[in-house]
Amino acid sequence: MSFLNRRTTVLLAAAACLGVPLAAQAQAFPAKPITVVVPYAPGGGVDIVTRILTKELAPGLGQSFVVDNKPGASTNIGMGAVAKAAADGYTLLTASPSLTSNGALFRSLPFNPATDFTAIGKIGYAPLVVVVPTASPFKTLKELIEHGKSNPTALTYGSAGNGSSGHLASELLLQQTGMKAVHVPYKGGSPAITDLLGERISFMSINPLEVLAHIQAGKLRALATYGTKPVASLPDLPTTASLGWPNLDATVWWGFVGPKGMPAEVVERLNAELQKTLARKEVQDQLAARGAIVDAGTATQFEAFTRAETAKWAKVIKDAGIQAD
């Protein structure tokens, strides 16, 4: 082939590439491994859920995943890294409740949790439970609430830290029922559970997986599950809705988001594969073993969910005067 013919062929190929529509480009997605940022340390709930999903998603997408743990600053380090990443679908974030609470908790952030991300899809959730020491005089949630109303300074509750899911859930409990209790923040869930076991605090709102072994061993007593659905591992535990508080709902949840401005076709590809994966029984069983209830849906549904959660927790945070910084 002459130099002229080769040059013509190259120019025609370049022109053809430039003329490829966005939809055709999206069909080729993904063309390389996808990085999923987990804004927590390895081994925690968000990390475990991420590793389950990325392993199961890889065959359908035809690409491997890289899980990149970026803990710190109440998840703001990891979230900030994804907010600044290229919006091409190759850098994602495993979102959790901090996505919908940090905007109200922190006075200044280098990104906007409400507007700097593209919703891809929800994975699932786990309702929190209210637990007390076994020696506690409170056998029901109603008894705990009534005591908190009659004795405003008598009760204390622990959490994994200021602005954590357990802190906000307990504040929601106080606001919805009118009971009073003093917050005792800890540097993580483990020391808070230790003090609960030692009867140095009155109660906690917590992911049941973190205390299930203590409940089964008779060291802690679960009083109720937040929300409308019972926890599979504690099927006989009443829900707050069944006890007369239909809006008393608090969960830990997980979903995938990417940077703002991702192509719609890429979002649809990722969401379709996520929904297909979450529909498989073996995946549901893996998540259920860790206390998670699968709650798949469209990207639009996940975006609506995060908007509603943002508004809900912003009010709780404002009414309680909570600041994380």
pLDDT tens-digit profile of 141-199? 999 999 999 999 999 999 998 999 999 999 999 999 999 999 999 988 889 999 999 99
- pLDDT tier for residue 324 given thresholds of 50, 70 and 90: confident
Residues 94 and 117 in one domain: yes
Residues 100 and 155 in one domain: no
Residues 154 and 176 in one domain: yes
Domain endpoint, select from 176, 210, 225: 225
Phi, psi of 191 (to 5 degrees): -65, -30
Whether 6 is covered by a domain: the verdict is no
Mean pLDDT across 293-311: 97
Whether 120 is covered by a domain: the verdict is yes
Residues 114 and 150 in one domain: no
Residues 118 and 169 in one domain: no
Q: Which pLDDT does position 8 carry in this prediction? A: 45
CA distance 60 to 42: 25
Whether 84 is covered by a domain: the verdict is yes
Residue 175: CATH number of its domain = 3.40.190.10
The residues facing 221 across adjacent strands are: 132
Q: 124 with 253: CB under 8 angstroms? A: yes
The range of the structural domain enclosing residue 89 comes to 32-126+252-320
Residues 207 and 134 in one domain: yes
Residues 144 and 291 in one domain: no
CA distance 161 to 72: 13
Whether 21 is covered by a domain: the verdict is no
The mean predicted confidence, pLDDT, of the chain is 91
Residues 118 and 51 in one domain: yes
Q: Which pLDDT does position 233 carry in this prediction? A: 85
If one counts the domains in the chain, the total is 2
Whether 270 is covered by a domain: the verdict is yes
Residue 41: CATH number of its domain = 3.40.190.150
Residues 112 and 257 in one domain: yes
CA atoms within 13 A on the CB side of 252: 22
Whether 40 is covered by a domain: the verdict is yes
CA distance 259 to 289: 31
Whether 19 is covered by a domain: the verdict is no
- Residue 34: pLDDT over 90: yes
Whether 325 is covered by a domain: the verdict is no
Residues 57 and 95 in one domain: yes
